[in-house]
Structure 1
Amino acid sequence: MATHAATPARQRAGAGSRTRRHSALAWAIPVTLGAAYGLYASFILRNNGASGGRQFWYGLIGAVVLAVLCFALGRIQHTMLPLVRAVAYGALTAAAIGLLVGLTDSSVLRSSALGLAVGLGMFITTFYIFYTHEQT
């Protein structure tokens, strides 16, 4: 005599079994952030001189790198704990700001300190947001 019902077998998700579509904001926000970052980086490198190829390529590469990192972080953020997610956002922000400050011919200590301060502010803000909106 069976005392329990048979449990249905779970199907394992294969590599291509689940397609995930990206919304328009999933790529529009990283592209916008990257474009603004690249334009500002190339503007800082200009130093009241003529525009050149060096600042164009630096701005373009900076924009692409930041956009790719933001997009990748946006894709994997839901698999992270709130603390790890906040650390990732803080580290990305600190690196980006530190690099921009370093382009202004300031010292390494100043660019590191300002990047760390802004990154710490981003960490505190995002940790508060992620922790208070956590789904249990």
Structure 2
Amino acid sequence: MAHAAPVGALTGPARTPDVFSPRIHLAARYGVPVVLGLVYGYWAAANRRDGGPITGWNILFGFVTALAFVVLCLAVATFAPLLKRELHSGVKSAFAGAAVGFLYSQSGESVLRSTALGLAVTAGVFLVFFYRYYTHEDGEGNRIR
């Protein structure tokens, strides 16, 4: 006995609904980098003081580091999606590797070890991002939605 096929079966999977309003998306677009930047700045300042007393210079260093992180994060989030998948992956992974390498360097380790760790993180993040973008784009580089 034959049954009718469901309506969406032949047209492919339905797109998931967007449950958040444009206002929430806008707040998240700028709120998430700011919160990440504040956490990053605190972490860098804590690494730099190495358990010592909190000073005014340490607080200033943390806020300047947070500001630089927020600006770079917003720039990467804005301009990286405009690039091809290789450069898109490269820009995001370079940002992640530089951020980790900088944090590690603030703990007093050598520049070579910080660079090696940053490059290792960059390579790992690049592989993950490249795989994701490569499997979510068609042959011409257009994103599949």
In 1, Cα distance between equivalents of 2:130 and 2:110: 30
Taking structure 1 as the reference length, the TM-score comes to 0.79
In 1, Cα distance between equivalents of 2:59 and 2:91: 28
In 2, Cα distance between equivalents of 1:121 and 1:66: 21
The one of 61, 64, 76 equivalent to 1:61 is 64
2:48 and 2:108 in contact (8 A); partners too: no
2:48 and 2:106 in contact (8 A); partners too: yes
Task: State the match for 2:8 in structure 1.
Answer: none
Unaligned runs of 5+ in 1: 1-20
Q: CA RMSD in A?
A: 1.5
1:121 aligns with 2:124: yes
The one of 93, 103, 109 equivalent to 2:96 is 93
In 1, Cα distance between equivalents of 2:123 and 2:35: 23
What is the CA-CA distance between 1:105 and the residue it aligns to?
Answer: 1.0
| Percentage of matched positions with identical amino acids | 37
* Count of matched residue pairs: 116
Unaligned runs of 5+ in 2: 1-22, 138-142
After TM superposition, the runs of 4+ consecutive aligned structure 1 residues lying more than 4 A away are none
The one-letter code sitting in structure 2 at the alignment partner of 1:124 is L
What is the CA-CA distance between 1:29 and the residue it aligns to?
Answer: 1.8
Deviation per CA, 1:4-40, whole angstroms, max 9, x where unpaired?
xxxxxxxxxxxxxxxxx97222112211221110010
